[in-house]
């Protein structure tokens, strides 16, 4: 009952586990071949190059994670609770053994400018997430949905990054609480979000040794 599934699926299953666990560049074709139990010839018939496997790996992760998130938030009644529930979902993900961060962020950081296809899939994944969050935010009847949605996206990705590095799932709840506050008190007292200075009283320059090399 293992060798009855389609070879492409077996290859993608193997590639998914290996790419996610060790990174794309660290995993060779032979290793995927071994794990999938597929001949090299068949593997190259399903996917003409390693780049195609990587792209399919990310596209499938995109579909699966979108469906899983959708299924999870379907259990909540209101858009507000769905928005908060997304971070419970994040927490459950962080707790899974073998959690190693966002596959899209990892792939983008690893291949980045090198692969146009990867960039496109990663951008699409993040854009879809943002669109979904925006639709939920609009359902809450808040004053400036675009703005709040952008902030929630930042909290979402930030929670993933923090959880990845620290190894703790707490960031999900911290982010969720921040979302709750932002939902309650939409806009701050003063300015509205442009490039303006926060309060004034800036005294020294930004230049100096901080020129070209940073974080």
Cβ–Cβ contacts within 10 Å for residue 45, how many?
12
Is 96 one of the binding residues for its own copies (CB under 8 A)? yes
Among 64, 95, 120, 135, binds its own copies (CB under 8 A): 64
- For residue 43, give Cα distances in angstroms to 2, 9, 118: 17, 11, 20
Inter-axis angle of helices 145-166 and 116-139, nearest 10: 120
Please count the CA atoms within 13 angstroms of the CA of 44 that sit on its side-chain side: 5
CB nearer to DNA: pick between 22 and 100: 22
Cβ nearer to its own copies, comparing 42 with 130: 130
Q: Is 30 in the site for DNA (CB under 7 A)?
A: yes
Residue 202 contact, options its own copies, DNA, none, Cβ 5-8 Å cut-off depending on partner type: its own copies
Which listed residue (4, 41, 195, 201) binds DNA by CB under 7 A?
Answer: 41
Comparison of 44 and 174: residue with beta carbon closer to its own copies: 174
Q: What is d(CA 38, CA 34) in angstroms, rounded to the nearest whole number?
A: 7
CB of 155 to its own copies, least distance (A): 6
Give the residue from 57, 63, 158, 153 showing the smallest Cα distance to 111: 57
The residue ranges that bind DNA (CB under 7 A) are: 27-31, 38-42, 44-45, 48-51
């Amino acid at each position: 009952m293992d060798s009855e599934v389609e070879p492409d699926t077996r290859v993608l299953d193997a590639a998914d586990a290996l790419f996610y666990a060790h990174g794309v560049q660290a995993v060779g074709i032979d290793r995927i071949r071994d794990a999938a139990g597929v001949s090299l010839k068949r593997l190259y018939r399903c996917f003409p190059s390693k780049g195609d496997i990587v792209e399919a790996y990310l596209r499938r992760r995109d579909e699966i994670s979108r469906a899983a998130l959708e299924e999870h938030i379907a259990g909540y009644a209101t858009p507000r609770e769905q928005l908060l529930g997304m971070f419970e979902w994040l927490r459950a993900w962080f707790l899974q053994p073998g959690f190693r961060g966002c596959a899209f962020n990892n792939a983008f950081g690893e291949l980045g400018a090198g692969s146009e296809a990867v960039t496109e899939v990663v951008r699409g994944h993040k854009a879809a997430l943002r669109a979904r969050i925006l639709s939920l935010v609009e359902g809450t009847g808040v004053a400036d949905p675009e703005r709040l949605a952008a902030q929630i996206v930042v909290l979402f990705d930030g929670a993933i990054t923090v959880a990845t590095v620290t190894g703790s799932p707490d960031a999900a709840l911290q982010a969720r609480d921040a979302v709750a506050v932002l939902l309650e008190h939409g806009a701050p007292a003063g300015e509205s979000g442009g490039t303006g200075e926060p309060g004034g009283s800036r005294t020294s320059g930004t230049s100096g040794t901080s020129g070209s090399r940073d974080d």
